[in-house]
Amino acid sequence: MMKRKGVAATTWYSETLSFWSPESWQSKPTLQQPVYQSHESLERVAAELASLPPLVTAWEIDQLKAQFSEAAEGRRFILQGGDCAERLGDCNPQTITNKLKILLQMSLVLIHGSKKPVVRVGRFAGQYAKPRSEDFEKRDGVTLPSYRGDLTNRPEFTESARRPDPELLLRGYERAALTLNFVRSLVRGGFADLHHPEYWRLDFVKHSPLAEEYERIVGAVTESLRFMENVLGLHPGEIEWVDFFTSHEALHLTYESAQTREVPYRHGWHNLSTHFPWIGMRTAALDGGHVEYMRGIRNPIGVKIGPGMTRDWLLKLIDVLHPDNEKGRLVLIHRLGRLKIAERLPELIETVRESGKQVVWICDPMHGNTRATAAGRKTRYFEDILRELELAFDLHAANKSVLAGVHFELTGEDVTECVGGARGLTEEGLAARYETEVDPRLNYEQALELALLTARKMMLGASAR
């Protein structure tokens, strides 16, 4: 495997970083990695990935870190959202624009509710690798490797589709680049101009029971924008455009490390395949490859925190991943579930306080609330998601902590994967357009409704203080 020089014990940016290199994770036990038939092919692909231009710049990454730091202090609010598993086929103009539209609409509503700038982070342009609880799947006596996302293999239950193919790492990288290129062009081209929210209208929202409330908020935000420009004399260029940042789970470490680079005039190593990589709790073992990899990069990094997180584990993770207490670097994404959040979150907040370090708290109200329908379909109930989110706001406030943002699995499409919401989708109704290969996502209307209710909650919270 490709080897590059590492960083020695004491460096200019960290007093505490012991030897690390983009490939040092290879000496640690590393979970959730596909088993390829040919090691040579994997090496060839990794070398090619390392030679291709980066997708994002260190400058953007540092900018996001600064914005995260402000969010941790309650001066911004983070909206992170997108598919559970992005598909290579999602790289088409319609799917990409619909995803941007719903994220823009939600952020507008959240700006209104929080009275803060919203940091938009997509789960896109690289969210192609999925952790699985089982390495193999058995159907009718046939056993094949589990589907691990389009970066690794294909969901169809055939031997050739499920065989991990290193070439898919290149296909994923290319699709991420095409996606990001289109996102950037749309944003630069005026699609995300706050003066023109009509550009982001999804046709189906017209027919939604939420249309009226949304239109009212659009009116209020547009009005405030005019006020700032005309009365306060703010330069329009400063507020006209909204940015998008990208994020994905840093799961496939050959993919991640191949794009981890040093750039001129910036200290240290950045993962230039995304602005904000995160790891799940199942790959957050202290002596594992993922923690080893994450500790050395300069991006803001996320760790998902489930109900099984212990005080000791969290303290050690903070110690290893966040030795310098750099503002905006360590993001803890709690996904505790509606039933466990009240019991677990205060203790976790207390543990962070005990560490003496600053972290950025985000609530993922999706992954702790997954359940199966009577028919065996994976779903989530809108009311569980909303309840966990409301509790997250209340518990952070009660424990003198800041909830800096939210993390959703959503799509800009009219799918039927989660139960509930304004249209009262039922378990029986899920069959109509159930498209996800992995986790159930909020559809556009449920996502917008959740944003409206989150905004309402933030307004209530702000007036109560």
Q: Is there binding between residue 367 and ligand PEP (CB under 6 A)?
A: yes
Instruction: Report what 357 binds from ligand PEP, Co ion, none; CB cut-off 5-8 Å by kind.
Output: none
Residue in the structure block whose two tokens are 């600064």: 66
Instruction: Report what 404 binds from ligand PEP, Co ion, none; CB cut-off 5-8 Å by kind.
Output: none
For 238, the 3-state DSSP assignment is: helix
Instruction: Report what 131 binds from Co ion, ligand PEP, none; CB cut-off 5-8 Å by kind.
Output: ligand PEP
Instruction: Report what 390 binds from ligand PEP, Co ion, none; CB cut-off 5-8 Å by kind.
Output: none
Q: Is there binding between residue 84 and ligand PEP (CB under 6 A)?
A: yes
Q: Is there binding between residue 54 and ligand PEP (CB under 6 A)?
A: no
Is 343 within 8 Å of 312 (Cβ atoms)?
no
Task: State the Cα–Cα distance between residues 59 and 80, nearest whole angstrom.
Answer: 20
Tokens of 26: 């290879």
Beta carbon nearer to Co ion, 120 or 248: 248
Question: Which residue has its beta carbon closest to ligand PEP?
Answer: 280
For 101, the 3-state DSSP assignment is: helix
CB 384 to ligand PEP: min, Å? 15
Is 365 within 8 Å of 337 (Cβ atoms)?
no
Residue in the structure block whose two tokens are 């919270």: 461
Query: Which residues inside 81-110 make contact with Co ion, applying CB under 5 A?
Result: 84
Beta carbon nearer to ligand PEP, 23 or 86: 86
Residue 260 one-letter amino acid: T
What DSSP assignment string belongs to 17-84? Answer: --SB-TTGGGGS---S----S-HHHHHHHHHHHHHSPPSS-HHHHHHHHHHHHHHHTTSSEEEEEE-S
Q: Is there binding between residue 280 and ligand PEP (CB under 6 A)?
A: yes
CB 240 to Co ion: min, Å? 34
CB 458 to ligand PEP: min, Å? 23
Instruction: Report what 172 binds from ligand PEP, Co ion, none; CB cut-off 5-8 Å by kind.
Output: none
Task: State the Cα–Cα distance between residues 379 and 442, nearest whole angstrom.
Answer: 10
Q: Is there binding between residue 65 and ligand PEP (CB under 6 A)?
A: no
Q: Which of 76, 101, 175, 304 binds ligand PEP (CB under 6 A)?
A: 304
Site map 114..133 versus ligand PEP, x via CB under 6 A: -----------------x--
For 214, the 3-state DSSP assignment is: helix
Q: Which of 292, 364, 390, 439 binds Co ion (CB under 5 A)?
A: 439
Beta carbon nearer to ligand PEP, 304 or 396: 304
Is 405 within 8 Å of 78 (Cβ atoms)?
yes
Beta carbon nearer to ligand PEP, 90 or 439: 439
CB 104 to Co ion: min, Å? 22
Tokens of 24: 């040092």
For 122, the 3-state DSSP assignment is: strand
